[in-house]
Amino acid sequence: MLFGFFLISVMPKKEILHLQVDANERLRADLHLLRMRRTDGQPMPPMPAGNFVQVRPPQNATTLNRPISVCDCYADNLELLVRRAGAGTDAMCDAQSGTMITVIGPMGNTFSTTATAPLLVGGGVGIAPIFALAKAYAGKGICPEVVFGERTAPAQQIVTKLEKVARVHICTDDGSEGFHGLVTDSPAWNGSFDMVHTCGPLPMMKAVAAKAAAAGISCEVSLENRMACGIGACLCCVEDTTDGRRCVCTHGPVFNTKELTW
């Protein structure tokens, strides 16, 4: 009970934001970059790397809101990278410029940014919070190494964004660009690192965490468990931790792997 009060007191204040779609860029058939602007003249609340927002899909396409990571956040703009997975994300990807979208945020905790030599590993749409983290490190004068894994050549727009804030190592399953193979086999791992941060498909994150553990490097993962309420009430997102079962929506989504019972 006390822990719950503690969490609520340290969690960032959530706002209900009515945002207007300024641009919806189709990067691939199943991947869109949505840029949305606050129109009430107020600044965006701070949304540090790791935070996510609960998006009300346009046209009320789903009953529940959908969690989407903060990819980029400016004074009055929010950028989300959205992969089509079903009705909710389809409605986001189909939103025309000018559409109003309601989001609640910021939600969840954040990545740490205390490392001096960080290795960031993103897989698929998991590159969204990894971009936000790379930008945060760049803001502190650190150019992180980013390993970006995709099935096939990644969208150039994302690579261009990443290259402004990081040294980027692309890995593809089909060898169409960069290193032909898994993110855990990337030559980028030959560097010397004091922290690994990762987000992507669960098997990839587990493999990255195992590799980091074998090298004695601390590792943070951003989990994408299915969510419903987003506020710690329905318990549908729980994850087993060394401290008992924890809601990913309020205690996470970022966990140090030493907290997890994988």
Ligand X SMILES: Cc1cc2nc3c(=O)[nH]c(=O)nc-3n(C[C@H](O)[C@H](O)[C@H](O)COP(=O)(O)OP(=O)(O)OC[C@H]3O[C@@H](n4cnc5c(N)ncnc54)[C@H](O)[C@@H]3O)c2cc1C
Footprint of ligand FES (CB under 6 A): 227-230, 232-237, 247, 249
Considering only residues 89, 113, 198, 257, which one is a binding residue for ligand X as defined by CB under 6 A? 89
The site partner of 246 among ligand X, ligand FES, none (C-beta below 5 to 8 Å per kind) is none
Query: Is residue 65 a contact residue for ligand X (CB under 6 A)?
Result: no
Considering only residues 18, 28, 37, 83, which one is a binding residue for ligand X as defined by CB under 6 A? 83
Query: Is residue 56 a contact residue for ligand X (CB under 6 A)?
Result: no
Q: Which of 114, 115, 131 is nearest to 123 (CA)?
A: 131
- Of 200 and 230, the one with the shorter C-beta distance to ligand FES is 230
- Of 61 and 64, the one with the shorter C-beta distance to ligand FES is 64
Stretch of 142-150, 190-198, 203-211, 221-229 contacting ligand X, by CB under 6 A: 221-229
The two tokens of residue 254 are 């970022």
Cα angle for residues 180, 183, 186 (degrees, 5° grid):
65
- C-alpha–C-alpha distance, residues 13 and 94, integer Å: 30
Cα–Cα distances (Å) from 257 to 101, 145, 161, 198, in that order, read: 34, 20, 28, 10
Cα angle for residues 63, 85, 182 (degrees, 5° grid):
145
Considering only residues 125, 166, 204, 209, which one is a binding residue for ligand X as defined by CB under 6 A? 125
- C-alpha–C-alpha distance, residues 90 and 84, integer Å: 5
Q: Which of 142, 190, 149, 140 is nearest to 170 (CA)?
A: 149
Containing 17, the helix (H) or strand (E) segment is: strand 15-28
The site partner of 49 among ligand FES, ligand X, none (C-beta below 5 to 8 Å per kind) is none
Q: Which of 124, 115, 101, 120 is nearest to 55 (CA)?
A: 101
Residue at shortest CB range from ligand X: 86
Q: Which amino acid is at 13?
A: K
Query: Is residue 47 a contact residue for ligand X (CB under 6 A)?
Result: no
The site partner of 66 among ligand FES, ligand X, none (C-beta below 5 to 8 Å per kind) is ligand X
Query: Is residue 68 a contact residue for ligand X (CB under 6 A)?
Result: yes
Cis amide leading into 253 (omega within 30): yes
Residue corresponding to tokens 């074998």: 214
Considering only residues 58, 67, 106, 149, which one is a binding residue for ligand X as defined by CB under 6 A? 67
Q: Longest C-alpha distance within the chain, in Å?
A: 52
Site string for ligand X, 225-244 (x = CB under 6 A): xxx-----------------
Query: Is residue 87 a contact residue for ligand X (CB under 6 A)?
Result: yes
Contacts to ligand X by CB under 6 A: 52, 62, 66-69, 81-83, 85-89, 125, 128, 224-227, 253
